[in-house]
Amino acid sequence: MGLKEGKKATIGIFDSGVGGLSVWRELVKILPYNNFIYFSDSAYCPYGPRPQEEIIERACKITDFLISQGADIIVVACNTATAAAIEALREKYTLSFVGMEPAVKPAALHSKTGVIGVLATKGTFKGKLYSRTLQKFASDLRVVEQVGYGLVELVEAGKTSEEDTSKILGQYILPMIALGADHIVLGCTHYPFLRDEIQKIAGDNVIIVDPAPAVARHTFELLSEKNLIGKEQTDSLHQTVFYSTGNIENLVRMARRIQQSLPDECFKEKLI
């Protein structure tokens, strides 16, 4: 099932939890008249420590559900799921998929010190896509890699600015700065919710690179090619339906940080 030209596309988005809301936030800015289905697989969060086979299985089940709900294109708003499953998804389905690109390229191109930091999950670091991107764009740079142990869980709990969160971030970020990193790449969609705290620790001279805006632009370009962009004159503002396999309250809380007016009825529990 490919994209059919000339209609208003419904965009499916999924993540292991609430992190993909950082991508949804950018998508609704650039596609305000398209509708969205957001799926949080929080019963299985975090994906990082899980084996690739399990992540592929979850990604296929979620994709089947999103298609059943009318999704025309799916954004895999999870770096770990992209690394583990996007090739399998593209082989199995004719639907278009947009994945998370490790944003090493812009950091590498603009670094003045020749040192960049990458904060990501273990699953992302192990992925072929990350390795290829590193070889292509950062082979002559020093790349300081740090697994963000515990950060996904903190974001899932809504603890984005607590003192304990800052202490953990300090342990991850300060060594990068000490080695001369002038860019820090956020390699997990949960981490943009920690951006303010990361910036405080890193200082104003360090650029924090969030890949979500670029992913939103790529999605826009794919839909634009097929004339699937909602139009202001003929379409109402976007509606999003949110599903969670776990604690729906976490999803409600984080989504309403972005858009306060979201009604209760747009949040649903779904066990798959």
Catalytic residues: 78, 188
The partner residues of 258 in beta bridges, in order of sequence, read none
Rounded alpha-carbon distances, angstroms, from residue 228 to 73, 87, 89, 212? 10, 24, 22, 20
Q: Is 171 exposed, middle or buried (0-12, 13-18, 19+ CB in 10 A)?
A: exposed
Spatial separation of the C-alpha atoms in residues 270 and 232, rounded to whole Å: 32
Q: What is the DSSP string of 82-96?
A: HHHHHHHHHHH-SSE
The partner residues of 75 in beta bridges, in order of sequence, read 13, 98
Spatial separation of the C-alpha atoms in residues 95 and 104, rounded to whole Å: 27
